[in-house]
Structure 1
Amino acid sequence: MNAYLEEIREVLLLSLGTCTVSLSLVFIFGLPLTLFLFLKKFSRKNLILALCQSLLFIPSVTLGLLLYFLLRRNGVLGSLELLYTPGALIIGQFLLIIPLFVALSYHLLRSLGTEYLEQVISLGANLFQLGFAVFRKCRPQILAAVIICGSRVLSETSMAMILGGNIKGQTRLFTTAIVLHTMRGEFEIAVLLGLVLFLISAGLGFLFILFQKDGTAD
């Protein structure tokens, strides 16, 4: 039982750690990017928006394969030696969810309108300061979008297997650990890991409902 608890602890820390970093990066860069796309007028704007929307449907296994070819030893980014490290997982998670965050945030900005944004811009705010102002005004809705992205990350399996290699104590996440132990016939630890992941997902769902209610109340 102690061995089970130790593995659950390792998987929990790594899963939440990589998820937190990727979500933080998506929030830091995704909101200013969305504001840029929403406010700026340029010839390729509709094309970029269409591309972001189409990337919502890219299979995670395909994204993982593309990143594998970039990060492998002979790849363009092979010199960084990121393959089979938490860094590769974070890159994959970031690229997987940033189109989703941009799409959700863009819809939010359309409902917010341009009047408030123009008022903040008139005070000399840059994109990052404007993003912070939008977050303060629409915090429940943005946090709900972050939770949706977090749920997407925690439930992903195939890309994590390709980029991380499912290495114990280094790149083994909840989903990859569950797959491994199920294939080995080690159902006790697989069920325990699945239960912990379910509880985390249920907690995220509860927070999502709370943020939605707060957003509606505002």
Structure 2
Amino acid sequence: MLLKDVVEEIAEKAPNYLSPASIVRKVTQVRDRLIRQSGGAQQQAETVCTGIDMKAGQAQYILPCPPGNVVDVDILWHGRWRRIPLRQFHQASSKPYYYVQSGMIGLVPAPDRDEAGGIKIFHLPVLPPLTLGSFMEPTGFDPDYDMVLVYGVLREITTGKEAQENDAKYQQLLSDYQTANSGLESYAVDERW
């Protein structure tokens, strides 16, 4: 679906009038929240890598995405790439780790040498906000599951029984989306003896 189709679906089902700009803003919020909640297989499929130059003695670097979008962090440690875990800052440790604070990523211990592109941050892409100017473009969400966006917005703008019905529909569509994108397949084997 194009953004205009999602907006039209919401406008048809909404109990009150909402301006197209308000609907687009809400669609952006729901889309971004859903992308951050994606499962492991979806994260692996959608992940981009941003390289950052490591500087000797510099522990903190500007994060290229919101903290919730970070999937993995690797550093060049003594000539080899090493995946490092997320921990709370200021923990005593002889092994390297990273922490996130105020939009910055921090490394412990601080690097002891300069390395061009020595930090790799694997993260979910940061999509630009949807606008009225992008009506004829895709939403940036899985095109097979754009109705998740529709009901994600409807459950936020309705009340009472209608909100419950919209939430139930949203939860069902979200479950279908997550199952389709989990990367896990399950098989049932029926045996007869």
Tell whether the structures are fold-level matches, with TM greater than 0.5: no
Structure with bigger strand share is 2
Instruction: Give the number of the structure whose alpha-carbon radius of gyration is greater.
Output: 2
Instruction: Normalising by structure 2, report the TM-score.
Output: 0.28
Structure with bigger helix share is 1
Instruction: Normalising by structure 1, report the TM-score.
Output: 0.26
